[in-house]
Structure 1
Amino acid sequence: MCIIEPESFEEAAKDDSWKKAMKAKITMIEKNNTWELVNRPFDKPIIGVRWIYKTKLNLDGSVQKNKAWLVAKGYSHKPGIDFNETFAPVARLDTVRTLVAVAAQRNWM
């Protein structure tokens, strides 16, 4: 069995199951108020989007469902033009362990 995932929107738009997956994603984006439509700023570059497609399979190899993600082309950002600083609020596991150990030692729990 060969599962072929579309490589472009044009390919996906020819198949009803992929159109359904894209519509479901757009519906969730609108439901969650993920974005707000605004007028295009002419003094700033526009960051594009693209669709990513993935076929989810059952354990027996049959198709469970088709999933589609709409992602920003973040790689087109230019430091100092589109953004100045980048933050990734992620704690490393050893940092969390240290904080828990200090809190336990000082009876902060």
Structure 2
Amino acid sequence: MRSGRPRRSTAYSDYVYLQEADFNIGDEADPTSFKETMESQNADKWREAMLNELESIKNTKVWELVEPHKSQKLAGLKWVFKTNKDKDGRIKRFKARLVAKGFTQMEGIDFTKTFSPVSTKDSFRIIMALV
């Protein structure tokens, strides 16, 4: 025996999904490519942000530049650009980050192991007990 209540649609027509860009209506979007960045009106500020990123990489010795072997497949690089804004929507800072396209590599072919330092709850408790 079925209920007499009217059925409601299972579609989520009442919900509106917004993308991050939808909140900055009327604002200029961050550039998505190097070419777009260099053609923008703020090209000099983006160039300064990129130089700051390269200087930071050099100072922290994140990478070591070596000659690759002919059989090695190299991971590409990509610039990611983001503007930090204050509460009034004015641009406070131009940020540029150089990131590796690690998703192009395959385990066992391009690399054999990865390392990522992760703290567990147990190790955190031990350290806190020692402190």
TM-score (norm 1): 0.79
For the pair 1:88 / 2:116, whether they are aligned, the reply is yes
2:49 is aligned with 1:21 = yes
Report the RMSD for the aligned CA atoms in angstroms.
Answer: 2.1
DSSP-derived class of the 1:53 partner: strand
Displacement of 1:30:
1.8
CA distance in 2, matches of 1:8, 1:54: 11
- The percentage of counterpart residues that share the same residue type is 34
Q: Which runs of 4+ in 1 moved over 3 A?
A: 96-101
Which segments of 5 or more consecutive residues in structure 2 lack a partner in the other structure?
1-25
Matches within 5 A, 1:2-81: 2-14=27-39, 15-81=43-109
Change (3 A) 1:100 1:36: closer
Aligned counterparts of 1:36 and 1:96: Cα–Cα separation in 2: 31
User: Which amino acid counterpart does residue 91 of structure 2 have in structure 1?
Assistant: V
Q: Deviations over 1:3-45 (max 9, x none)?
A: 3111101111221111111111112212222223322321100
User: Does structure 2 conserve the Cα–Cα contact (< 8 Å) formed by 1:3 and 1:55?
Assistant: no
Structure 1 position 66, deviation (Å): 0.7
Count of residues in correspondence between the two structures: 103
Separation in structure 2 between the aligned mates of residue 11 and residue 39 of structure 1, nearest angstrom: 30
Question: TM-score, normalised to structure 2's length?
Answer: 0.68
- Over 3 Å counting, the alpha-carbon distance change for 1:23 and 1:98 in structure 2 is closer
Deviation per CA, 1:36-77, whole angstroms, max 9, x where unpaired? 332232110011110011100112211001100000111111
Gaps in structure 1 of 5+ consecutive residues: none
Partner of 2:126: 99
- Whether contact under 8 Å (1:18, 1:68) holds in the other structure is yes
